[in-house]
């Protein structure tokens, strides 16, 4: 028995049509491709988020080390970094994390205030990741400041304000290194700052 609907389509009662096997397989393939693309997107987003989290941690560790250095005795740090030596051959030591792993820190007699915390400042362990912090005196920048060289003006312009402040500042660079990049690559972050003389604090 057949019937006719208002659009004039013939249908036989009792005969049901469904999806064929090829249509089901095609739908599964399309859904698989879409899910692979979405999975890849979320994996990349997670990796990017983790990388940004590690970079934020490294910036905060660099700021922490810089804050520690800013509180040091100006004269002792000037002597340690050989600030008075301005020749090209002058050796300016670097405060390295490798030299200060435990209580037998190489820098214990270098004039650091509260040197007992220096191993934790230079070798922090955060979220099961070991970071290394190295602190370098920026001799060239300090020399330019003492000479009054202006970074914004012409080559003959002299910045008298920089020249006046230079004897009271020791420019340092803090570099934090750790396995925070994608695929566990080693990356580093750099923060710059100054050790200031107690006279202008």
- Rounded to two decimals, the pTM is 0.72
- pLDDT for 148 equals 78
Residue 61: pLDDT band with limits 50, 70, 90: very high
Rounded mean pLDDT, 145-165: 72
User: What is the model's pLDDT at position 131?
Assistant: 92
Residue 69 has pLDDT above 70, yes or no: yes
Q: Are strands 129-130 and 187-196 parallel, antiparallel or unpaired?
A: unpaired
In the predicted model, what is the mean pLDDT of residues 96-121?
81
pLDDT value at residue 163: 83
**What was the pLDDT predicted at 161?**
82
Mean pLDDT of the chain: 82
- Residue 194 — very low, low, confident or very high, per pLDDT cuts 50/70/90? very high
Q: Among 5-14, 16-25, 31-40, which stretch is predicted with the lowest mean pLDDT?
A: 5-14
pLDDT beyond 90 at 35? yes
Show me where the domains of the chain are located: 42-200
Which carries the bigger pLDDT value, residue 161 or residue 195?
A: 195
132-152: pLDDT as tens digits: 999 999 988 888 888 877 665
CA terminus-to-terminus distance, the chain: 101
Confidence of residue 192 (pLDDT cuts 50, 70, 90): very high
Q: What pLDDT is attached to residue 14?
A: 53
Determine the pLDDT at residue 32: 94
Q: How far apart are CA 176 and CA 14, in angstroms?
A: 75
pLDDT at 33: 94
Q: Tell me the Ramachandran region of residue 22: left when phi exceeds 0, alpha when psi lies from -120 to 50, beta otherwise.
A: alpha
Q: Of 201, 168, 182, 185, which is closest to residue 78 (Cα–Cα)?
A: 168
CA distances from 40 to 37, 45, 80, 162 (A): 5, 9, 51, 51
The better pLDDT of the pair 156, 123 is held by 123
């Amino acid at each position: 028995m057949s019937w006719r609907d208002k659009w004039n389509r013939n249908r036989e009662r009792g005969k049901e049509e469904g999806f064929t096997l090829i249509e089901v397989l095609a739908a599964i393939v399309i859904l698989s491709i879409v899910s692979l693309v979405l999975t890849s997107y979320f994996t990349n987003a997670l990796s990017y988020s983790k990388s940004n989290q590690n970079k934020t941690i490294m910036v905060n560790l660099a700021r922490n080390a810089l804050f520690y250095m800013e509180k040091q005795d100006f004269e002792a740090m000037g002597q340690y970094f050989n600030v008075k030596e301005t020749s090209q051959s002058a050796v300016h030591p670097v405060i390295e994390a490798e030299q200060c792993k435990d209580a037998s820190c190489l820098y214990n007699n270098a004039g650091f205030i509260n040197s007992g915390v220096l191993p934790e400042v230079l070798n922090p362990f955060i979220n099961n990741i070991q970071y290394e912090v190295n602190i370098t005196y920026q001799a060239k920048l300090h020399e330019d400041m003492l000479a009054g060289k202006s970074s914004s003006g012409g080559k003959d312009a002299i910045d008298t304000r920089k020249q006046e402040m230079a004897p009271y500042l020791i420019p340092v660079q803090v570099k934090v290194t750790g396995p925070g990049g994608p695929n566990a690559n080693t990356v580093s972050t750099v923060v710059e700052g100054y050790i200031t003389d107690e006279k202008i604090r």
